[in-house]
Structure 1
């Protein structure tokens, strides 16, 4: 990030958070939040991602920063949506072996919102063989391990062993990078860096060296393909991993992100705006990732 780019990057974050604030009603949990046939991906997932991003923004910005104030307000909103944590306890009783409540809770716990009764109930389940032996893809398993650490539960498993079974942890041939691998590698980095909140350690040196070589061409390829959501995740990786060179991000990356962000602050997942009937579904994640990556990047250098 150059001094000239800093205001533009900060404006991306400001506009994206303003969009999320204006659309907070779309993040609210509906009456089906506890239903057995409820759509988790359209209820808990957006709310959890809102909390995750805002927890990182508040950690990486000073209290007097307007970005911090907006993110803190959205965090408080997310916590209220969970009934100040009561819904997590109800979910745990309804679906004791589901991991998504723990992952959403961990995002809020990282910002200081805690529900001791839920943590105690989850810790009990986490000691069972059923929880320990739940089958998951390695990247998801690493995420659950790290979520458990933040929420006070413990799974007797080596995070290093799980890491080395992920796509990024195995240091694959760089030409095997594609969309699913891209999302897998970004989430491995997010789990290792506590979603950008840990500014030192976390990412092993061999992974840092690998990313230093290959993150720039991967990001450039995604920019050319107009895959804005994945681009923002890769930009967040660049801002999260200590030791990456200054040229890890193409010089025009933020200019291209800013150009596709509309006047409301929204960013489409890919290409242009897409189906108006699914506006929120096609914009919320990429817009949150734009806020996340921009806030982390702005926080790397001098105050802007």
Structure 2
């Protein structure tokens, strides 16, 4: 396997990762318990929503003629079919009207152009209640829900706070207080503010400067610790900053992440491979690889859409999948 040093090798990470995801679509399929009160959301709706979120960005940040674009569009079509073109999400919303994850999953698909008017109407009714507005959530989650509301037309665009000061990142904390939970929180603040890498120049300048200063040592620490999932998320954040990526990414970062791939192209969330790998327990293997592999593809596509040494600027504007 070629260790990624240049743009072509970063592209290889994206190709390998999406190929792995495509070959394992069954792992993202909704099971019989998708609408069950005791169903495991983290094993059904969460993977499907993450698949849609990443693929929506891939279609936006690659040219229509790019094979990655075609593969991502096919995966989005698959995800939409799994929801029975939104009908299952509508039923889920009616079963759990104050749960936020149906709206968040729907918003990831709406980002690619898939719409279900009845779902949006039902969600808007609930979102207008005091109960919905007063649900207690951590600041990063609340920001994500507000952005999902914007994506679905429930809230007018521009009403989400431009600088979420209640979040860890928004407070510009002492950089030495960075740890794993803070890392995941900050990456998702960036993802929400940048519409998952689809909006240019969306970060407040002070947040962008803070990240440009401290992202390199944080990323280096995560790579040293074998925290591949968080490292991929930080690489995606680096690709959204207005500063050239070679100023914010350690020179060997992509080589180190690429070296964590197994022969299939998958990347484990943390550490090194153990046991019999995919052959030993396919379900467990999928659970510990799908997110980090998706986020590696996400980061690689954002990085190759904006090569090292070039500040953020216009990128490919491919259209999302048709509704």
TM-score in terms of structure 2 length: 0.89
Give the superposition deviation at 1:264.
Answer: 1.1
1:247 correspondence with 2:251: no
Structure 1: where are the runs of 5+ without partners?
Answer: none
The residue number in structure 1 matching 2:261 is: 261
Counterpart residue number, 2:80:
79
Matches within 5 A, 1:112-261: 112-154=113-155, 159-160=160-161, 163-200=164-201, 202-243=202-243, 246-261=246-261
- Change in Cα spacing, 1:155 to 1:136, as seen in structure 2 (3 Å) is farther
**Distance in 2, Cα, partners of 1:68 & 1:158:** 31
Equivalent residue pairs, number: 300
Structure 2: distance between partners of 1:29 and 1:199: 33
Separation (CA, whole Å) in 1 of partners of 2:12 and 2:162: 40
Identify which range, 129-138 or 239-248, moves more after superposition: 239-248
**Gaps in structure 2 of 5+ consecutive residues:** 316-323
Show the counterpart of 1:298.
304
What's the Cα RMSD here? 1.9
Preserved contact between residue 267 and residue 283 of structure 1 (Cα < 8 Å): yes
Would you say the 8 A contact 1:212–1:244 is kept in 2?
A: no
CA distance in 1, matches of 2:273, 2:287: 11
- Contact 1:171/1:210 (CA < 8 Å) preserved in 2? yes
Is the contact between residue 106 and residue 147 of structure 1 (CA under 8 Å) also seen in structure 2?
A: yes
Residue 300 of structure 2 is aligned to residue 280 of structure 1: no
TM-score, reference length from structure 1: 0.95
- Per-residue deviation, 1:273: 2.0
> 1:244, CA displacement in angstroms?
5.3
Matches of 2:10 and 2:295, distance apart in 1: 13
**For residues 10-49 of structure 1, what are the structure 2 equivalents within 5 Å?**
10-49=11-50
1:104-137 Cα shifts (integer Å, max 9, x gaps)? 1101000000101100110111110011111100
Structure 1, residues 219-239: CA drift from partner, whole Å, max 9, x if none? Answer: 011111110000000000001
Q: Secondary structure at the match of 2:124?
A: helix
Task: Check the 8 A contact 1:92/1:101 in 2, yes or no.
Answer: yes
Corresponding residue for residue 289 of structure 1 = 295
Change in 2 beyond 3 A, CA 1:156/1:58 = closer
Aligned to 2:320: none
